[in-house]
Amino acid sequence: MVYDTHALAAPPSPASTGTPLVEVRDLSVEFVSRESTTRAVNGVSFSLAPGEVLCIIGESGSGKSVTMRALMKLHPAKHTRISGYMRVADHEVSAHSEREMRDIRGSHISMIFQEPMTSLDPVYRIGDQIAETVVHHKKCSRADGYARALELLKLVGVPSPERRLKAYPHELSGGLRQRAMIAVALSCSPTLLLADEPTTALDATVQIQVLVLLRRLQQELGMAVIFVTHDLSVAAQIADKVAVMYAGRIVEYGSVADVLQHPAHPYTQGMLASTVSGHMRGQIIEAIPGSPPDMRVRIEGCSFVPRCKSVKPACRRGTPALVDVLQGHQAACANFV
């Protein structure tokens, strides 16, 4: 299957020779409860250049959202153990206290959520919610906050923005709400935008509008974006780089064209094969058998073994590391060692 990558021809992303904006090394996240410990993320490493879009793809429970929330330290500290090194711009997130994180959240790093119905507070006007963040971080007056809110609503393409400023969330449609949410996230011109499946809850037509908008804003503002999705066509639309996650690990990483057109890891291959796209009617779509592993149990060897079509004895021996398949295209599979 061939994906129409770069349908929105992106300008060549800034040379990755400079220092990356985001650096994550050996990130692990464990959720601890009385009964069990869930290892949601096991040693994830990646880096991201300024102005680049990284798509994290994976099925539910693969640890993609957890990775992203860990970057902002949004997990409840009491039940979460995070280890590894995380850096965003010149902030070493992994060493920051909650108080220091508060200054970074919303200003340097901000986030868009999946559900536009619940991610805006129903009892405040849209304008108030955007201005709140602006006033909080820029320490400016309420009036300046509102001026900025109006500017932002125009930027994200909300029709009649003066009116919407005074509207409550329930008076807006899903697409408009998601635009308003994007406006909140962009209010302090972040250098890194985290997007947690921002188009999943939207209609197909609105979905493409929001994607186009995000791509345009990302290019205009020069933000880096980490975009979590389980929709491969969304990734093809927006990503520069793609990281495929499975069972809390990155199993394949590379440019969007490499990964989606020449998938190396059996999991990525299976995922692409099971996507409905331009098939003939009646043709049987291949599915990946089985289901993702229980993250509460420690697994010896590659976690994809039970579902993999090309298992070798080496697969059961140790967790495969990410190795170069091609220049800049890596996969974690024993078949490439």
What does the binding site for other proteins look like in residue numbers (CB under 8 A)? 7-8, 72, 74, 102-107, 110-111, 113-115, 118-125, 132-133, 136-137, 157-160, 163, 166-168, 170-171, 181, 184-185, 187, 208-209, 212-213, 215-216
In angstroms, give the least distance from the CB of 225 to other proteins. 15
Where does residue 267 rank: exposed (0-12), middle (13-18), buried (19+ CB within 10 A)? buried
Question: Which tokens sit at 151?
Answer: 């500017």
Query: Between residues 182 and 334, which has the closer beta carbon with respect to other proteins?
Result: 182
- Asked whether the beta carbons of 71 and 25 are under 8 A apart, the reply is no
Query: Between residues 185 and 332, which has the closer beta carbon with respect to other proteins?
Result: 185
Tell me which residue has tokens 């972040």.
190
In angstroms, give the least distance from the CB of 8 to other proteins. 6
Question: Which tokens sit at 189?
Answer: 């011109």
In angstroms, give the least distance from the CB of 126 to other proteins. 10
Q: In angstroms, what CA-CA distances link 36 with 80, 273, 294, 295?
A: 12, 35, 11, 10
Using CA atoms, how far apart are residues 133 and 107, in angstroms rounded to an integer? Answer: 9
How many CB atoms are located within 10 Å of the residue 277 CB? 12
Query: Between residues 160 and 283, which has the closer beta carbon with respect to other proteins?
Result: 160
Q: Give 74's contacts (C-beta < 8 A, 6+ positions apart).
A: 111
In angstroms, give the least distance from the CB of 133 to other proteins. 4
Using CA atoms, how far apart are residues 288 and 295, in angstroms rounded to an integer? Answer: 19
- Asked whether the beta carbons of 190 and 223 are under 8 A apart, the reply is yes
- Asked whether the beta carbons of 64 and 236 are under 8 A apart, the reply is no
In angstroms, give the least distance from the CB of 132 to other proteins. 7
Query: Between residues 8 and 95, which has the closer beta carbon with respect to other proteins?
Result: 8
In angstroms, give the least distance from the CB of 160 to other proteins. 6
Query: Between residues 209 and 319, which has the closer beta carbon with respect to other proteins?
Result: 209
In angstroms, give the least distance from the CB of 125 to other proteins. 8
Query: Between residues 112 and 288, which has the closer beta carbon with respect to other proteins?
Result: 112
Query: Between residues 121 and 294, which has the closer beta carbon with respect to other proteins?
Result: 121
| Secondary structure class of 191 (helix, strand, coil) | coil
| Secondary structure class of 141 (helix, strand, coil) | coil
How many CB atoms are located within 10 Å of the residue 104 CB? 20
Using CA atoms, how far apart are residues 37 and 289, in angstroms rounded to an integer? Answer: 26
